[in-house]
Each structure stands twice: as C-alpha cells, then as structure tokens.
Amino acid sequence: MTLRDKQIVVGVGGGIAAFKAVELVRELQRRGAKVRVVMTPSACRFVGPITMTGLTGQPAVTDLWDPKHPGEIHVELAHWAHAIVIAPATANLLARAAHGFADDAVLATLACAGCPVLMAPAMHERMWRAAANQRNVERLTQDGVRWAGPVQGALANGTTGMGRMAEPVQIADALEREAFAPPDLAKVRVLVSAGPTLEDIDPVRFISNRSSGRMGYALAAAARDRGASVTLVTGPTQLPLPAGVQTVQVRTALEMQQAIHNALRKTDVVIMTAAVADYRPAQAKTSKIKKQGETMSIELVKNPDILATLGAKRKGKRPVLVGFAMETNDVVAYGRKKLVQKKADLIVANEASVGFGRDDTQATLVGKRGDEALPPMSKRELAHRILDRVCGLL
C-alpha cells in the first residue's frame, strides 16, 4: 500500500472546509499512514484540536510557543514528515506561504519542509480566480508544491463554483500519486477493462451483473500513478472517470471486444477485470416486450470470451495477460483452471461475497509459479499488489 507506514503531517487552515480534515486524517490512517496534525489559530475556531489529538494519539500542534513541545516543534515536524498535506489551504494561507511567512505553526512547518508538499485549496470561486491568488498559486507551483483541487461544487454561501475543497479520498489519492507512487511502470502501456456489460433484451430491459467497476478503476488509477500509459475500457458504472487515463466507454460485450482489439496493438499489459456477460439475447427486440402469460423464454447466445481470445492469439510473452475469477466456491481451483484454459499469466481469484460493490476485498493471486493468498484489503491496495506481480512479468 503506497501510504503504509508513511509519516504524514496534515496542516489545517482556517476555513469552513476544516471539518473535512478530520475525515482526511482518518482516510490517511486507513491507508496505513502515521499522521500528526498542525493547525493555524483560525483552524481551531472550526475544528477542536482535541478531536485531532484523539484521532492521531499525538497532541495537535497549534502554537509555536506551547511549552509542552520542547525545542522547535516546527523543525521536528518537518524532519519527521515524509510528506505534508495542507487541507484546507485558504487564500490567506496560500498568500502567506507564497511569500515565505512563518509566523504560525503551519507556515513555520512548511518553511522547514524538505519533503513533498500537497495543498488542497478551499475558498469562494471569486477568491480562487482572483489575479493575486493565481499569482500565489503559480509561485507555489514553481517552488514545487503539488495540488489536489479545488473542484467544482457547492460552496459555503450556497452558490456553486470552482473553489470547493477536494474530498478526503481524492486528496489521499493525489498524495499517493504525487508523492509516493513508484515509477516502475514508466513507458509501459496498460489496458484495463472494467465494470459490467449490458446486453439488451428490448429498449427498456437488459441482462447484466452486479459489477461496480471499482476494481478496474482502482487498477487504472494505480497503473497511472506508477507511470504507465493507461487505456480504460469500461462498461456502464456510477464511478467518476479517473483523470489522466484514456477512457473508452462501451455497453455490450461485443463493443468491449472491439474496443480492446482496437487498442491491443499498442499494449504491453492487459488486465481484464470487466465482468463480461457470458450470454446475450439472440435478438434484441426493437420495441418493449409486453407481458404475456405466466412464463416467457428468451433465447441466449454465447458472448465471445475476450481473455481466452487474447491468450490464443498472443505471440510470445506480450501482452502480459491478467484475468479475474470471481466464484462462489472452490475459488482457487477455478482460478488455476482459468489460468491454464485462458493461457493467462496471472489470475486474481476471489469470492463473489467479498467482491461485488465493495471498497474492500480479499483475493488469491494465482500464477504459474504458485498461489499467493492475500489478507483482506482495499481494492486500491489490491491494485498495487497486482501491479507488483505484473512488474515481475514484464
């Protein structure tokens, strides 16, 4: 996991979005990070330092002159940190940081930073777009600051615009991507399929499955963060499309097969997470089927097995092929059978009860040299574990 055992200082500025810093601390901890918090005096008006102390087990630093902290606490924090995240980063905080102010605990810690710094701005749209603020952003960027947001959304005064702080998960993702992702997939071209396919019965009905697409999207984002050039072929999902990834949206198994075929020539690794429908109606009706009788039969025909087709046509060791096997029983046995039948390099085998629609999962990596049973983990962490194995196959 990219943030496991990383030491992160979270600096909290004095804006209404400060309440989200509480969830950010939690999110970083969920990803395995060790967190300490430093707050501006204004931030303490929005979020109590005791809350942060309770979450982290370390006193929240709010005052450079606090006698409970021996020595120079801002120097200690900056030396301890593997990265510093400022959330929210208000317009006032950005201005003072851009000009080297160090008159509170957050700014003094920033002034001592020798590690990556990520800022998550939060302010009214007019403040964000103000010429002076944009000059400060540009100056901080030139100094090496990385950014998470802001994003378009609801603002504190009830209006909507650019200036809303990114959500804690987005900030944590940005930290992983900007500060810690190993560039071990640089110059590698990765194709990921994700989500379900929808096979139309008539204009209002279809055959599908419960795939949420979360695993495929996590893999696409993780590969991107590790330097890969990523193409995501996705069936319909409710997920936001990952930034920095070329995305092809499809609906049916045949459309997915064609999209993968179109991208295959420029691909080094194919990871098939998509839950492609095994069958489709032999003929989709052009008008809604009316209710008739107590039973109804629909003739189904088999969809192409995309992974098996890729394995059969592959010449040599390229592209590396990774498939998924979601089963309700005998998971590893079915995974090993699929590894052989599909001529894949790696199969990620997991149970349907811990896979569909959840952010966490548990899987066994089934490879030609043996199986690796993994403990329960987030799909984000599993994505990196899979990519670790892919790196060994390149």
Catalytic position from the list 133, 209, 329, 350: 209
Six token digits for residue 104: 């509170």
> Cβ neighbours of residue 216 under 8 Å, at least 6 residues apart?
192, 193, 194, 195, 232, 234, 271, 273, 274
- 209 counts as catalytic: yes
Beta strand spans in 298-385 (E): 300-302, 320-327, 346-351, 360-361, 364-367, 370-373, 377-378
Q: Which of 163, 187, 200, 165 is CA-nearest to residue 17?
A: 165
81, 35 contact by CB (below 8 A): no
Rounded-to-integer distance, Cα 91 and Cα 155, Å: 14
Buried b / exposed e across 250-266, counting CB within 10 Å, b at 16+?
A: bbbbbbbbebbeebeee
Rounded-to-integer distance, Cα 16 and Cα 383, Å: 34
Q: Which of 253, 257, 255, 341 is CA-nearest to residue 303?
A: 253
Residue with tokens 């997939």: 185
Which residues are catalytically annotated? 209
